[in-house]
Structure 1
Amino acid sequence: MIPFAAGCDRRLLDNHLGGEDAINYRRFERDLVSPHCGRRVLEIGSGLGDFAAGLRGYDHLTVSDTDPLCLRTLRDRFAGRTDVDVIMLDVAALTGTELPGGAAPVPRPVDTLIMMNVLEHIEDDVAALRGLSRLVVPGGRVVLWVPAYPALYGEFDRMVGHFRRYTPATLRRPVELAGLRVERVHPVNLLGAFAWWVAVRRAGQRGVDPRLVRLYDRVVVPTSRFVEQRMRVPFGQSVLCVATRPVT
């Protein structure tokens, strides 16, 4: 069964997958994303803050979500932190030609916008990226981490509200249509893809089994990380994309 509060946004499960049992995986994510972050960072769809809590090297971080449980947890988690803001930010409200209320919904301009396993929940990903890119200063970066490859799409994806899984090519397309310039886009976590295929596609796993998560985190993630420090992999559980907002 899924440890999920009734009425809670399904994306919460996606963003919190594994929780404290996925420490190595969170470190793997951060080590790949952090080199592309600037000094003022905004994370979209922060969930319970498991990814953001480990970020370092910034001057100011803004975390955001729409789910009331997530927002309460984020405020508690970052209470007393003058370098962190918590805001409610609805991506759907940014798809028009004007920002809500005629003003940016973030307290300060950002040079880096991060979305970790969020874009796949949005039906019109081009409109979302176009709206979100206006929250980034010209020359700033948009960093995306999304689930990869339609062949891995299973019941779990449907259950948590994934519209799609991406390939590098199908992620590049909406990013460029949104007016962003792709710096790099490639698959990550090769061994995680095979573990996902066995658990979700073959075994039909629909819930989060803590034992499997711990095994995955202690064995699969470190091994995949070791391999990918030495070579660029052709396939993976996720796709990482780094794009910039053009200066002109």
Structure 2
Amino acid sequence: MTDREPSMTSPEGAFARATGRTVPAEEGGADKPRYRRYQYDLIAPHCGRSVLEVGAGLGEFAAQFTGLDRLVVTDVDPDAVALLKNRFADRAEVEAHQFDLAGTQALDRPVDTAVAINVLEHFEDDAHVLAVLARSVVPGGTIVLWVPGYQSLYSEFDRRVGHFRRYTPATLRDAIRRAGLACELARPVNLLGGVAWWAAMRLGKVQGPKTGAVGVYDRVVVPATRVLDRLLPIPFGQSVLAVARVPDGGPRAEKAR
């Protein structure tokens, strides 16, 4: 490990370290409904009938999935898992489990799609983590990744929550390839969010997202971002979206050089 904050590899308090938030009794996150829907609309088209979300936290994103045959929500933090079990107790298709990507854990019954939102950057050996995750996906299935974009946006907040890096489409494609997977899509998303993040974190030296600013961003910036996504090729963004395909024979990770 480096001098960064502990990453998601130890369970106690992992959710708080990864997000800068604690696991509260209430559901939380109600100030970002438009942003979560924006994420969902980009991610869901790449998902099959059974979905695993790793690092699901409070279940805010996963709750948007409906009509699936099976939805597995997981987190390394036992407090988050307890909240997930309570949140989805009335949905028969949902399972909630503790799941540690730092080891060799895999689902007993693989899913069509694994989703990892703001997870991969917490691991030094990202290709290994992708190969581990692929073991929980059926051959020919997909892994959908949403990661922080562009090292030029790296800030004290990234360091504090244990980010080893931010990605470009090229560096994310490389990690996918090294994991023995095929990359079908890797592109920047959320151009305006990237500009706002740079201004706040790098110029303004803000230590983390502020509730009031997040609310304004959700109401104003996210709708504008959707318009830009439709009209323009996006060369840069706050995040990078990627879709990896698990080969029919399973992942074949490259040997370390």
Count of residues paired in the alignment:
232
Give deviations 1:32-61, integer Å, cap 9, x for gaps: 000000001001110111110112342110
Q: Is the 8 A contact 1:15 1:47 kept in 2?
A: no
Between the aligned residues of both structures, percent identity stands at 52
> What residue in structure 1 maps to residue 163 of structure 2?
162
1:156 and 1:70 map into 2 onto residues whose CA distance is 21
1:92 and 1:49 map into 2 onto residues whose CA distance is 21
SS of residue paired to 2:171? helix
Q: 2:56 aligns with which of 29, 46, 52?
A: 46
2:101 and 2:137 map into 1 onto residues whose CA distance is 14
Q: 1:8 aligns with which of 8, 13, 17?
A: 13
Q: Is the 8 A contact 1:12 1:47 kept in 2?
A: no
**Moved runs in structure 1, 4+ residues, more than 2 A?**
12-16
> What residue in structure 1 maps to residue 80 of structure 2?
70
5+ residue gaps in structure 2? 1-11, 250-257
Q: Is the 8 A contact 2:201 2:208 kept in 1?
A: no
Which is helix-richer, 1 or 2? 1
Give deviations 1:181-234, integer Å, cap 9, x for gaps: 011100000000000001111111113311100111111111011110223201
> What residue in structure 1 maps to residue 39 of structure 2?
29
**TM-score computed with the length of structure 1 as normaliser:** 0.89
Q: Is the 8 A contact 2:110 2:135 kept in 1?
A: no
Equivalent residue runs for 1:1-248 within 5 Å: 8-9=13-14, 10-13=17-20, 19-94=29-104, 99=105, 104=106, 106-248=107-249
183-192 or 130-139: which moved more? 130-139
- The Cα of 1:170 is off from its aligned counterpart by 0.5
2:124 and 2:192 map into 1 onto residues whose CA distance is 28
Q: Is the 8 A contact 1:12 1:48 kept in 2?
A: no
**TM-score computed with the length of structure 2 as normaliser:** 0.86
